[in-house]
Amino acid sequence: MSQDLQARPKQPSRPKSSPRLNRAIKARTDPDDARFDQQPGEPRGRDILKNRYVSALMRSRWYPGAFQIPIAAVFGLVAYELLAGPPDAHDNAGTALMWVLWWPLLPLLYVLFGRLWCAVCPFAALSDFVQKLVGVNRPVPPFLKKYGIWIIDATFLAITWADHVFGIVESPWGSGILLLLLTSAVIVSGAFFQRRTFCRYLCFLGGLSANYSRTGMLALRADQEVCATCTSKAACYNGTDTVAACPLFSFPRTMDSSANCNLCANCIKACPNDAITITVRKPTKELWFLRTPKIEESFLAMAIMGIVIIQNVTMLPGWTDALAWMNRTTGITSYPVIFTAVFAVGVSIPVALLTLAAKVASLGNLESTFKNFARFGYSLIPLDVAAHLAHNMFHLLAEGGSVISTVGTLFGGHYSGSPALVGNGTIQVLQYTLLALGLIGSLYTLRAITHRRYLTPARRRSTILPFSVLIGILTALNVVMFMYPMAHRM
């Protein structure tokens, strides 16, 4: 029935005799394990579905379609502009709408509304349309379920690399080709596989949104007590005659994370018992109650941190000098070669630092480096979101005027004002405020995860210390980079 339900955690095979065995035995007899299993889940906040307007909106048959249609129309305009509009990014409304308005606002949307964007995403609408038209509805291949997030990790890194080497953001044509490639992948996935396989297992943006929506302020959950008496054969998961199944393969009854919920409201419409709730919570709260960490999600968090660092570094005024220096020192003139090396180092830095912190912590908390990496990588997600937002804040506020001018030109208007919406000083204050919030969020999440996992103060201390240092280093790195003026995208 439910793919999530069918996936039972496998018992690890027992090693014969080694220090690891001793450690495993030690961990298994550890009272913290039993205590951790008994910990209550995330407490529920106020159910906003009790508000009649929100309830009416979510239960309406026009939701989310009413939002999808105008967004798809704008998407069509963006695609047309990118492929057939002015060749210079500076004059192209598609580039402005996509990279100066939509992309910077996206992380903010995740923090405010969780993965809501995925419900109104035009690619999702396209996938549904193709599925309705010719969909074969094959089940998701097992390798996608197993390695989907790794594929997302690799795709995210590859697209960022390609952006710098081939020019995607600065080139409308490059952005247009990216959109066409994504559209092709969505069509293939929608034609052959069931539900929104692409969104759940392949979309690089979906991976990003899954990670970021854990910090989101909206959480959709089911009332366990009501679900225990349900006889509808998981209508919330499988759908009904009139309501589609959950597009992201999530079963509300067992759901303890917003990572794979796009608030499409299918389950709300399908549930015959009104057991679904949407609660408002504090940002990052879901991370405090982390139960089943996954190393690939921690890796993605670190990869995103690396990507933000790379993006910042390449926009600093010293980047050209650094390139020239590398050119003189190594004799390599090829930009792709130099950038690939810098990219590999830049992305590896946060991963290596987290591995190091996990190794140090493992000496004190008696859990493996692997487990430490997987569990405490999540504590960096708030800082991740903050750094990403701070970076994007620059593009939105320093270049936001270009959206008005290019779109205005498209419709015959004229805007001759400055592209900057606010001054550099204001942007920097906002960036540092965001970084401070991210730092506080990460430290608090670290503390919450540690306190829930470990009982003894010594284990808590030995865990908190190395990861706090890591959070501090990454914050300092971002603070230093935001001190310098960045290059504009347009």
Partner 1 sequence: MSRTIEQEIETKNIRLTGTAATWRRRFVVASVGATVAATAVLGSLMLTSHQEASAATPLSAAVVPMAVGSDSSPTPTNPGSMPADMPGMDMSGSTPTPDPTASMPGDMPGMDMSGSSTGAAANRPLAPVLGTFGGGTAAVLLTAGMMRRKDRAANLIKKAARISGRAKK
Helix (H, G, I), strand (E, B) or coil at 276: strand
Cis check for the bond before 64: say yes or no (omega within 30 of 0).
yes
CB of 203 to partner 1, least distance (A): 18
CA distance 437 to 429: 12
CB of 269 to partner 1, least distance (A): 26
Number of residues that bind partner 1 (CB under 8 A): 31
Task: Answer yes or no whether residue 337 interacts with partner 1 by CB under 8 A.
Answer: no
Task: Answer yes or no whether residue 432 interacts with partner 1 by CB under 8 A.
Answer: no
- Helices 172-192 and 65-84, packing angle to 10 deg: 130
**Residue from the set 177, 404, 430, 479 that interacts with partner 1 by CB under 8 A:** 177
**Residue from the set 143, 335, 370, 484 that interacts with partner 1 by CB under 8 A:** 335
Judge residue 480's burial from the number of C-beta atoms within 10 Å of its C-beta, 0-12 exposed, 13-18 middle, 19 or more buried.
exposed
Helix (H, G, I), strand (E, B) or coil at 169: coil
CB of 23 to partner 1, least distance (A): 49
CB of 93 to partner 1, least distance (A): 16
Paired strand residues for 276? 222
Task: Answer yes or no whether residue 108 interacts with partner 1 by CB under 8 A.
Answer: no
First to last CA, the chain: 49
CB-wise, 130 or 473, nearer to partner 1?
A: 130
Nearest to 266 by CA among 248, 296, 294, 245: 245
Nearest to 423 by CA among 392, 403, 394: 394
- Identify which range of 51-59, 173-181, 293-301, 459-467 contacts partner 1 by CB under 8 A: 173-181
Integer Rg of the chain from CA: 23
**Residue from the set 67, 173, 289, 432 that interacts with partner 1 by CB under 8 A:** 173
Instruction: Show contacts with partner 1 in window 442-481 (CB under 8 A).
Output: none
- Identify which range of 42-50, 134-142, 147-155, 254-262 contacts partner 1 by CB under 8 A: 134-142
Nearest to 222 by CA among 257, 183, 255: 255
Task: Answer yes or no whether residue 184 interacts with partner 1 by CB under 8 A.
Answer: yes
Instruction: Show contacts with partner 1 in window 240-259 (CB under 8 A).
Output: none
- The alpha carbon of residue 455 and the mean position of all alpha carbons in its chain are separated, in whole angstroms, by 31
- Identify which range of 13-21, 132-140, 414-422, 476-484 contacts partner 1 by CB under 8 A: 132-140
Task: Answer yes or no whether residue 488 interacts with partner 1 by CB under 8 A.
Answer: no
Nearest to 238 by CA among 67, 64, 3: 3
**Residue from the set 130, 430, 465, 473 that interacts with partner 1 by CB under 8 A:** 130
- Identify which range of 79-87, 239-247, 251-259, 295-303 contacts partner 1 by CB under 8 A: 79-87
Task: Answer yes or no whether residue 22 interacts with partner 1 by CB under 8 A.
Answer: no
**Residue from the set 66, 324, 458, 476 that interacts with partner 1 by CB under 8 A:** 324
Task: Answer yes or no whether residue 421 interacts with partner 1 by CB under 8 A.
Answer: no
Task: Answer yes or no whether residue 180 interacts with partner 1 by CB under 8 A.
Answer: yes
Q: Which helix (H) or strand (E) holds 219?
A: strand 218-222
- Identify which range of 126-134, 340-348, 382-390, 455-463 contacts partner 1 by CB under 8 A: 126-134
Cβ contact 220:119 at 8 Å:
no
Cβ contact 418:402 at 8 Å:
no
- Identify which range of 170-178, 194-202, 213-221, 235-243 contacts partner 1 by CB under 8 A: 170-178
Judge residue 7's burial from the number of C-beta atoms within 10 Å of its C-beta, 0-12 exposed, 13-18 middle, 19 or more buried.
exposed
CA distance 293 to 4: 15
- Identify which range of 100-108, 159-167, 438-446, 461-469 contacts partner 1 by CB under 8 A: 159-167
Nearest to 196 by CA among 133, 118, 83: 118
Contact positions toward partner 1, by CB under 8 A?
A: 83-84, 87-88, 130, 133-137, 164-165, 167, 170, 173, 177, 180, 183-184, 187-188, 191-192, 320, 323-324, 327-328, 333-335
